Amino acid sequence: MAAERLVTTYGDRAYRLATSITGNGQDAEEVVQDAFWTVIRKIDGFRGESAFGSWLYRIVANAAYQKLRGRSRRRDLSWEEVMPVFDDRGRHAGPMPDWSARVDDPSIQADLRLALTSAIEELPAAYRSVLVLRDVQGLSNLEIAELLGLSVPVVKTRVHRARLFLRKQLDDTVTTLDMTDTHDCA
């Protein structure tokens, strides 16, 4: 009875957290099941120093990271790949294309959605989880820090780098689409 109430109350959010870290629904289901069993076994160890939900989500996050350690590692996020280039006065050295008007173009929306999904999946788990928690689930940096056991500056840095990575990937996609459109017109 108590286990059912636990799953009903916390299951959806625990699953979303596990999915954001593992990037895989099947792995997320296993993680959540393992985490709930851990919570049930260790409920007496809950000291009430934080909210029960925070304690439970920390167990889910730890289980998800443990699951990832068992899988092959994703490629590391290279800061140099995504960081804009600046001149010695701190201004952008290269042009920063503004393709924001193109996102409303119905002819490329499906391609952009696919590119965004793919780029999110390419992010290392540590970056993907904070990005999803911040930009999809709308949690604050403080909530994410408490949930994942990180400092707020680390959360901010990871969100920023993940966004830069996504911007670079989407820019590459739009550039490719623009080149395709140019060749199609010729």
CATH of 79-185, one of 1.10.10.10, 3.40.50.261, 3.40.640.10, 1.20.120.350: 1.10.10.10
Fold type of domain 2-70: Rna Polymerase Sigma Factor; Chain: A (1.10.1740)
pLDDT digits (tens, 9 = 90+) for 57-81: 888 888 888 887 766 545 555 656 6
For 132, other C-beta atoms within 10 Å of its C-beta total 21
List CB contacts of 167: < 8 A, sequence separation 6 or more: 82
Look up the pTM and report it. 0.58
For the cut 80, the answer to whether the pLDDT of residue 84 exceeds it is: no
What pLDDT band is residue 96 in, cutting at 50, 70 and 90? Answer: low
For the cut 50, the answer to whether the pLDDT of residue 159 exceeds it is: yes
Q: What average pLDDT does range 144-160 have in this prediction?
A: 91
